[in-house]
Structure 1
Amino acid sequence: MKPLLIVNVGSAPEKQLSKFGDFELWAKLAIGETSLDVAFHDGIHTPIPDNEMLAGVVIMGSLSMVTEEADWMKRLASEIRQLCKNNIPVLGICFGHQLLAYAFGGQAGFNPNGLEVGTVEITRNKESENDPIFSTLPKQFLAQTIHFQSVLTLPENAVCLAESVLDNHHSFRIGSCVWGVQFHPEFSAEIMEEMLNNVAETLGQDRLTEKKQQIRATDNARQILVQFARLCADRLNG
């Protein structure tokens, strides 16, 4: 069976890595039961395999930033465009979301509103109402976030699907099979609490304590990965 490929573009911070495993494992656990084979892939050092052998692709988050424009990012952006051309479903998460925007002519950079972190409310917009993934979610739902950079300018052919108070472009779709989400559907509440410790100095003790008290489970956000995997499976079976 063609696999759903989860592409790792950099390891999780050391403390979270030792406690929870790496980013791609978090995504697999969030997807849960699926008829698809789920495979992991090193997107930094290895090109994405032949498109005809894939059910779909998930591009994970990273400690790197798209604005670095490293050679491997440019190569992966080119591969993403080819996936889209071949009608292979793609989901980008956080860094992956920003790389999708970059790949199709949008702009990523430091969010002028600053760091967005913790459990935040996401609001999906009118354009999401017929989206095969987002239409199943409530109008407002909670999601885990941690990012300094955002998609500042969407690609011309992108449709914005959701926003937060600090980020106007929390999700977008290109065509019928490419999605980007700035938030983290793969984060559990426990992972989010650990991640907050990584930005403790930026937040300060009072805000860190407040953010930890606001952490909630984000089952609706997790459905992004569940629904994406289901869409990939349905396409194979269709």
Structure 2
Amino acid sequence: MKPFLILQLRPETEASDGEFAAFLDKGGLRTEEVHRICLDHQALPDDLNLSDYAGVIVGGGPGCVSDDPASKDPVEARIEADILSLMPEITARDVPFMGCCYGIGILAHHLGADVSKERFGEPVGPVSCTLTEDGAADPLLAGLPAQFDALVGHKEAVQELPTGCVHLLASDPCPFQMIRYGRNVYATQFHPEADGHVFEDRINIYKHRGYFPPETAEDLIVTVKSSEVTVPPDILRRFVQRYR
């Protein structure tokens, strides 16, 4: 059985470890089924062969692909470059891929679409997502409720459907919540691995990163912990089950 390659972009150890635990838990994965690379302190191996993996899962992070390259944190810039270096092969070979939050910006940017902070940013918290007609027919989404809540929090967003992509999920504030390129390359704007407890940790870690006024952190924690977020983990589990 081939392992899944989990690539993490968060330079904060606590946030990275929490995200990894959430991927295992919500995806129904065991540690022996994954190869984890934390790109903040591990470079991509020179001999990395995507054919050795059942699929690639990319986590979120505080970086934005639309930020001015000259102003980016050097670590975040290197992480972004590493991920982007894999996208030509992933999209050309239709390698199973699940990009979460930051991952949708990476995929769209690689495909030449506009990713910016102009429109469609969403504050931290739950948002109602709606299946499109294509979404209702997609293998990862078929049979799920037509509407369900997911947890979000992002400054930038995809401004247009990238060429060659299928639109799967939308929300009122952000039209592109989930897209697919080819048959196997997926990306979500929401966090399919996150529940209220996962977001509580991230709120505490990122409360000074400009996502929300720091003094509102406690109220946000109450909101996310009381939200009904049960469907998004099913999407992650279905991805794992389909390609395992």
Report the equivalent of 1:155: 162
Q: CA RMSD in A?
A: 2.7
- In structure 1, C-alpha distance between the alignment counterparts of 2:240 and 2:80, rounded to whole Å: 24
The answer as to whether partners of 2:98 and 2:187 remain within 8 angstroms in 1 is: yes
| Gap regions ≥5 residues in structure 1 | 234-238
Matched residue of 1:66: which SS? coil
The answer as to whether partners of 1:77 and 1:103 remain within 8 angstroms in 2 is: yes
Of 187, 190, 200 in structure 2, the residue corresponding to residue 193 of structure 1 is 200
TM-score (norm 1): 0.84
| Gap regions ≥5 residues in structure 2 | 70-76
User: How does 1:62-211 map onto structure 2 within 5 Å?
Assistant: 62-68=61-67, 70-197=77-204, 198-199=206-207, 202-203=212-213, 209=219
The answer as to whether partners of 1:11 and 1:22 remain within 8 angstroms in 2 is: no
The answer as to whether partners of 2:18 and 2:198 remain within 8 angstroms in 1 is: no
Report the equivalent of 1:212: 222
Deviation at 1:34, TM superposition (A): 6.6
- CA gap of 1:135–1:13, structure 2 versus 1, over 3 A, is same
The answer as to whether partners of 2:125 and 2:220 remain within 8 angstroms in 1 is: no
The answer as to whether partners of 1:133 and 1:228 remain within 8 angstroms in 2 is: yes
The answer as to whether partners of 1:89 and 1:177 remain within 8 angstroms in 2 is: yes
Deviation at 1:206, TM superposition (A): 6.7
Report the equivalent of 1:3: 3
The answer as to whether partners of 1:7 and 1:24 remain within 8 angstroms in 2 is: no
Matched residue of 1:67: which SS? coil
Deviation at 1:6, TM superposition (A): 0.9
Question: Letter of the aligned partner of 1:218 in structure 2?
Answer: V
- In structure 1, C-alpha distance between the alignment counterparts of 2:220 and 2:58, rounded to whole Å: 31
The answer as to whether partners of 1:66 and 1:98 remain within 8 angstroms in 2 is: yes
- CA gap of 1:81–1:213, structure 2 versus 1, over 3 A, is same
Which deviates more, 22-31 or 140-149? 22-31
- In structure 1, C-alpha distance between the alignment counterparts of 2:198 and 2:221, rounded to whole Å: 13
Q: 2:33 matched to 1:37?
A: yes
Report the equivalent of 1:46: 43
TM-score (norm 2): 0.82
- Runs (4+) of structure 1 exceeding 6 A deviation are none
